Each structure stands twice: as C-alpha cells, then as structure tokens.
Amino acid sequence: MRTKIFIGVIALLVVAACKKMDDNYRQYIIPGGIVYPGKPIQAKFHPGKYRAMVSWKRGTDPKITKARIYWNNFTDSVEVQIAPKQDSISHIFTNLQENIYSYTIRTMDENGNKSVPVELTGSVFGDRYQASLLNRAIASATIGEDDKLTIIWGAADTTNGARTTEVRYTTVGGQTATASFSAKKDTSYITGVQGSSGFEYRTVFTPDTLAVDTFYTEYQQMPGNFMQIARTTWTATADTYELTGQQPNGAPSKVLDGDIGTYWHTNHSKSPVTGYPHWLAFNMNRRVKVDRVVLTSRSDYVREDFTDFIVQGSDDGSTWQNYGNYTLAEITGPQSFTIAGAPVMRYIRIWQVRNATGSPHSHLAEFSVYGSFAP
C-alpha cells in the first residue's frame, strides 16, 4: 500500500513540474508555428569595377514575392521585387570602393515571412587591380610569304585573371581586324595579315570567372619591321660547305633550322680547302624590306668563325649590291645588325671577309631577317 502511495506522489510531482515548464515557455510559442519561405538557391557574388552584383535562383516556392539584401551588419538594405514567374533574380550595387563586401539575402512572401539568411562575400576591383595588370610578352612574331602571322607568346598572368589576348591588325585588303586568343595558348596564327603595318596587342583580364566587368591592358605596338621573316621556304647556298667531316652539320640549310646547336661549316676535308672570302646566300622567295639581320655564332667555337662581313642584296641572285660593313663579335648568342635605309631585296648574302685568327675556315649557327614584305 505504501508503494502505491509513493508512486502516486511522484506522478503528481512530475505533472506539476511539466505544467510549470509549459507556463515558462508559453510566451515563446507562436500559434500556427513560424513560416520560412524558400531561401535563395545558387546564390553568387559577381565582382566588377567599382560595383558588384548578387544573383540567385528563386527555387520552387511560388509564394515568394520579394527579397531584401542587407549589408553593413544589417544596418543598410535594399528591397528587390520578384515577379510570380521570375526564376533568376539579381541586383547590382554601384559606386563601391575597391574592397571586400558581404551581403545577406532573405526572401519574403506576401505576409512578410522571411527565409533563412544566405550570406555572400566577395571583392570589388578598381584602379589598384588595374595597375597590377601586365600585358603578355611576345617571344617572337614571324610573318610568312603567304601573309600568315605566327606569334609565340610569353607566359600570361593567369593567376591574376588573364583570359585572352587581343591582336588588332591590318588585313592584306587594308581593313582593320581583331583576333582573340586564349591566354592558355602559347602560339597564335593569323592569316591574311599586311605585315608592313605591324600589329597591336593587349591582354584581357577578368578577376573572377563570375565577374561582370572586364579589364584591359593598354595596346602595345609591334612595328612591321620588328617581325621576323619566316624562313620555312627559303633556300640557302654557300661558296663551300663540309660534306662529311661535321655530320650531321655542315650544310648551309643548318643556319635556317632554328637550332643554335647545328651549324654550317666550310669545307675542310676535301682538297682544295679554300680560304676567305666565304659567303652564305638566301633566296627569300619574295621581295623583303630588310630592316635588320640577326646572326648567331657556333657557341663552342666563337673565336673560329668570321668577324668582318658585308650584307649584300639582289633581286635576281646574280647582281649584288653592298649594304654595309659589319663586325661579328666573338660572343655567344644572337647579334643584331641594322641595315641602313631598310633596302628591298629578294636575295640576301653574307659576304665574309676574314676572321681574327687567320684560319681559312668559317661557320655559322643561325641567320634570320627582320622587316616586312615589299610589293
């Protein structure tokens, strides 16, 4: 009997305690519960130049009628109306400083019920970012006799947002045209280029894949006479060359292969061995306005090749005219020589007068011409 009374007392105490707890929490209970409209989905921050855009998808909740976007710790906000069938929503903030911004979006229904908040953070860009942008460098620009321009680029600053490079040029018909190339590509080709006009180029940046604004470097000029004349169809001849003793080197064509490790060499194994003068001649297949020539000595014997030479030009390959006396320094690497007056010629010849050691032999690793095609 005592056990029953004890259990009954406990039950009364539990009921009383529960009633007291209900009374404590009754003030916080909202009749019918809290309604949360569907929150913004796929919310994104789109950076721009002194502006930013926030965007999101409506989702499946048909009761949403508007949204409010908050910033500055909810002290500022803007209301965005949402049409009944509107799926994509966005709002642009302008006149911003170059800084980091945070926005909180809450959607609402017609009764004022608010969704759970969605927060976005991102950067706004401006003059500081613009000043950090570097135009992509050009390693080489070559124009072919078929009016095809080949550009080999240096590395692009993709970590800072480099996306494309634009080239503005003149066509063979005299029109201005623009071509765009991915910053991830190292080589670009453009056909139908009027090489004598040169070209301009700039790099296009977007600081983020979601950016609403694009940034550009200033255009840089590549003059026509700074472009290399393509050598792929040239033919090279010489007064003499070593047939067997320098294999796989020796032939005149080795100075046109783009490899500084290969070279032309005069004959030294077959009698008679002739001394200076020696010459290398090239048929460029089209008349070229020659602005400068570049010669590269054989790197392991820079003191054994020619030093004094004359640049000669011809339209028929038989009658030659001198265009200046030059000295090839006994150093490694390419050496550039400007040709006064930029004469026009189809054939060009390097007439080698002597070397500093008194040796009868001559050799050369690379030869190239910079200029533009002439009518």
Query: Is residue 2 pLDDT above 50, yes or no?
Result: no
The C-alpha atoms of residue 318 and residue 313 are separated, in whole angstroms, by 10
> What are the Cα distances from residue 40, in Å, to 3, 100, 356?
60, 21, 81
Average pLDDT over residues 120-132: 97
Q: How confident is the model at residue 36 (pLDDT cuts 50, 70, 90)?
A: confident
Does residue 8 register a pLDDT over 50? no
Task: State yes or no: pLDDT of 77 exceeds 50.
Answer: yes
More confident residue, 85 or 121: 121
User: Which of 1-5, 221-225, 295-299, 316-320 comes out lowest in average pLDDT?
Assistant: 1-5
| pLDDT, tens digit, 9 for 90 and up, residues 279-327 | 999 999 999 999 999 999 999 888 889 999 999 999 999 999 999 999 9
> CB neighbours (10 Å) of residue 48?
23
Q: What is the mean pLDDT of residues 61-77?
A: 95
The percentage of the chain sitting over the pLDDT mark of 70, rounded to a whole number, equals 91
- Write down the pLDDT at residue 10: 39
Contacts of 131 (CB under 8 A, 6+ apart): none
pLDDT value of position 304: 86
Q: What band does 1 get if pLDDT is binned at 50, 70 and 90?
A: very low
Structure confidence at residue 31 as a pLDDT band (50, 70, 90)? low
Interval 229-248: pLDDT, tens: 999 999 999 999 999 999 99
pLDDT tens digits, 164-211 = 999 999 999 999 999 999 999 999 999 999 999 999 999 999 999 999
| Reduced 3-state DSSP string for the chain | CHHHHHHHHHHHHHHHHHHHHHHHHHHHCCCCCCCCCCCCEEEEEEECECCEEEEEECCCCCCEEEEEEEECCCCEEEEEECCCCCCEEEEEECCCCCCEEEEEEEEEECCCCECCCEEEEEECECHHHHHCCCCCCEEEEEECCCCCEEEEECCCCHHHCEEEEEEEEEECCCCEEEEEEECCCCEEEECCECHHHCEEEEEEECCCCCCCCCEECCCEEECHHHCEECCCCCEEEECCCCCCCCCCCECHHHHHCCCCCCCEECCCCCCCCCCCCEEEEEEEEEEEEEEEEEEECCHHHCCCCCCEEEEEEECCCCCCEEEEEEECCCCCCEEEEECCCCCEEEEEEEEEEECCCCCCCCEECEEEEEEEECC
Percent of all residues in the chain with a pLDDT value above 90, rounded to a whole number: 85
Cα–Cα dist 308/177, whole Å: 44
Q: What is the pTM of this model?
A: 0.81
Give the pLDDT score at 327: 97
Contact 307/214 with Cβ under 8 angstroms? Answer: no
Token code pair at residue 72: 């500055």
pLDDT bracket for residue 33 (50, 70, 90): low
Tokens of 286: 């089209």
278, 290 contact by CB (below 8 A): no
**124 compared with 31, residue with greater pLDDT:** 124
Average the pLDDT over each of 9-13, 76-80, 84-88, 120-124 and give the range with the smallest value: 9-13
Identify the sign of the CA torsion 22, 26, 28, 31. Answer: positive
* Average per-residue pLDDT for the chain: 91
Check pLDDT > 60 for residue 355.
yes
Question: Taking residues 154-165, what's their average pLDDT?
Answer: 96
**Averaged pLDDT, 350-370:** 95
Asked if residue 149 has pLDDT above 50, the reply is yes
Amino acid at 148: K
* pLDDT (mean) for 67-82: 96
Distance CA(54)–CA(60), nearest Å, equals 19
All structural domains of the chain: 41-125 (2.60.40.10), 132-224 (2.60.40.10), 235-373 (2.60.120.260)
Residue bearing tokens 């090749």: 305
Is pLDDT of 27 > 50? no
